[in-house]
Amino acid sequence: MIIIYGCGQMGQHLARKLGKQELNVTVIDPERLNLESLGPEFKGEMIMGLGIDKDVLKKAHISEAEVFLAVARDINTNIMCALVAKRLFHVPRVIARIEDPTLVELFCKFQIETISPTTAAAGQIERMILGQKG
């Protein structure tokens, strides 16, 4: 089971894509409108609340989660949620969206994987150009 915290552009994209893979996906976001943006095609669970709220996380059955994705726009929120998921609920795999490269090493110590949209996009541009170059 996969829990996605943050139903902005990235969270929605992931929820739709992973949902189509017939993975069991639960999305958490404090804003009802964000959750509603997923539309009727999304068949997973939607829970309104904060990703650092233990009651919200229990409602999302976090103890059964294999993967927790902290992909809110606010980086500090992601840091907090990822730490709660990893340290309190021992989710096997936690991936957090962060931009600050200095945090990557720290997160690594906590066994939290990180993803930076800027670096991901730069990598994609690199492949586009170097692919062209040969």
96, 79 contact by CB (below 8 A): yes
Q: Is 76 in the site for a copy of itself (CB under 8 A)?
A: no
Q: Which is nearer to a copy of itself, 59 or 93 (CB)?
A: 93
Q: Which is nearer to a copy of itself, 88 or 121 (CB)?
A: 121
- Which segment (40-48, 54-62, 74-82, 115-123) binds a copy of itself by CB under 8 A? 115-123
Residues 13-52 that bind a copy of itself (CB under 8 A): 13-14, 17-18, 21, 23
The DSSP bridge partners found for residue 29 are 48
Q: Is 124 in the site for a copy of itself (CB under 8 A)?
A: yes
Counting Cα atoms < 13 Å in the Cβ hemisphere of 22 gives 0
Label residues 78-87 b or e (16+ Cβ within 10 Å = b).
Answer: bbbbbbbbbe
- Which segment (7-15, 43-51, 83-91, 103-111) binds a copy of itself by CB under 8 A? 7-15
Tell me which residue of 49, 109, 45, 114 sits closest to 79, measured CA to CA: 114
